[in-house]
Structure 1
Amino acid sequence: MKYKLGDFVRFVDENMEGYVTRIIDDHMIGVTGADDFEIPVPASKVTYVYGHNISIDDKHNKPLAPIATENFIEKGIYLAVVPDQKTAAVVHFHLVNTTSYQILITLSTLQNLQYKGEYAGIVMPQSVEKVYAAPLADLQIWPQFNLQLLYYTQQNKKPVEPLIITERFKAKDFAGSKKQVPLMNQQGWLIRLDEDDLVIDAEKLKESFFKPAEEKQLVDKPATEVDLHIEKLKHEHQLLNSATILNIQLDHFKKALDAAIVHQLPEITFIHGAGNGTLKHELHKLLSKNNRIQTFMDARKEKFGYGATKVILK
């Protein structure tokens, strides 16, 4: 298969063009046009559009200048997941190397008990390499990723242990906001691969259990109306499945309710929307079990319709 996800192609027999958004098999691809509709097509029936595909340069053959020991960067390797700039239906995985090492990398995937080599190459110091691409709509069935990273430098440095990482990504891994990707003029989700080992300071841990009350964090007073719509709680919510969304909403509800009880508010209203009634049912179930609740009811219908619950506290 000569085509890759994100390639811009034109149909040979029709006046249509679009981006490759799915590799179906060795002979078939999915192409998404301007109408966002994906069309299955034989790979032999499309062709590249001149000027849209960029060739690889020979930067790996360039000699590296020596780096002063005090300026040698030991840490900073990331996997960046970045939406395609031309079609949001595809995301690209980049190995971001902000260290002074050359990184030898292999990537294989595992799906349905079948392994497949996806990428092998060198990521130079302070550079980025694309190692994989995937349709965003298939996030729930992405394969398991198997990454192996080997550090290399010609300088006088003690050898670093190779990194071996096995990961199966889920929607919750992309629940946070996108960030500026180092060395790239793009936003994406960043996953640090060479995290420092967690070192627990026993004395500081002990001190944290015996902080005076005035040093402990205070609970902020909540608003009298709390909106639980997911777009109000998470900017990057499009990738979340329904179960994850519900957990986020319930967690926010519990924190707001606890804060209202701490601050002795007389009442608080939760805006949950009408929807399919799942969130409302879960809220009412939790409220009915809380002995700090006097009663609860539908909030003002002229303002919220049937999409909010008013809670009266004791």
Structure 2
Amino acid sequence: MNVAVGCKVRFLNDVGGGEVIRIIDKRTALVKTFDGFEMPALLSELVVVEPAADELLQKKTVQEKETAEANRKKKPKSEVEYLTDDSPEVADSSGDELSLDIAFVPSNISNLQQSTFDMYLVNDSTYRVFYVLSNVIDDNHTPISSGILQPDTKVLVKRLTPEDVSKLIIMNLQAIYHKNIPYKPFQPEFYDIELDPIKLYKRGNFKRNDFFDIDAYIISIASTKREAFIRHLTDKAIVEAIKQKEKPAPVKEVKKPNIETEEVDLHIHELIDNWKDLSPGEILKIQLARFETALEGGIKSTTTKRMVFIHGVGNGKLKYEITKLLSSKYPKLRYQDASFKEYGFGATMVFLK
């Protein structure tokens, strides 16, 4: 039996079911579960247990066609078509607040080792979010869930079993913020989530929150409040934090260093002590500040000819920002990957002279 809007369905490969409230595309439908949550599901994984009323379905189809035709006729050809998912006649609210989180909600908070974890995408923003969540294996992305998340809503995107949690899981979230009215644009997200099992087994990682009735482990993907705080970090404060980390090394006999090549380690634990409470954006800002300070010092030096900046591999964000800064602000400097034998893929060499 074909799946249509209004059908009562059961999930083929999971417990529970709900009512189909929208057909997203040829392969996917949006199901409102019996618990009241809205989640996308493959049509091939839905079993119809109660068909929709034919009269209601036909009426809805006719109304949709009439609305679409009316909108098409009254819209000027030069007008921009804003991306919408439903209720296009209702304008989105104003405001430029972003707050996008990944949340892990345990089924058994008292026994995390044996618990399953419901993974939610939480949009506490004034924006709609078009998202794609994927599993990452050897740089290949396999979609888990995708759709458009309305402001102030959340969606269950994956249920992690104890077997899932027993191994390191790498996922990637891509997200685009938009409205159906003129809006201030934000950079799209490309966020890698490396889910270490230890993090889900530590009770202290689960906190009280505004989104769920029980404690949850929440990872912040984007937040305008956090970014506003980062902007208030002055260059002076960053320099002072770096200075606190830099302490005189004990005097010992070492081989004569190569004074022509200076090595700078940009790993955050080498720059400041209290870094564990910093967000990824704050860490990146400190690392780039250290990079520029060291590079400017090397340029002024009369002996340093080359500098090796150790940035590690990670998700490639720091290396990308370094090369972008070199190309835009220091276009006359030549740079390349440092020796693979010594640094692997985790360092960049800059030629000063």
Q: Under TM normalisation by the shorter chain, which class is it?
A: 0.3 to 0.5
TM-score (norm 2): 0.39
TM-score (norm 1): 0.44
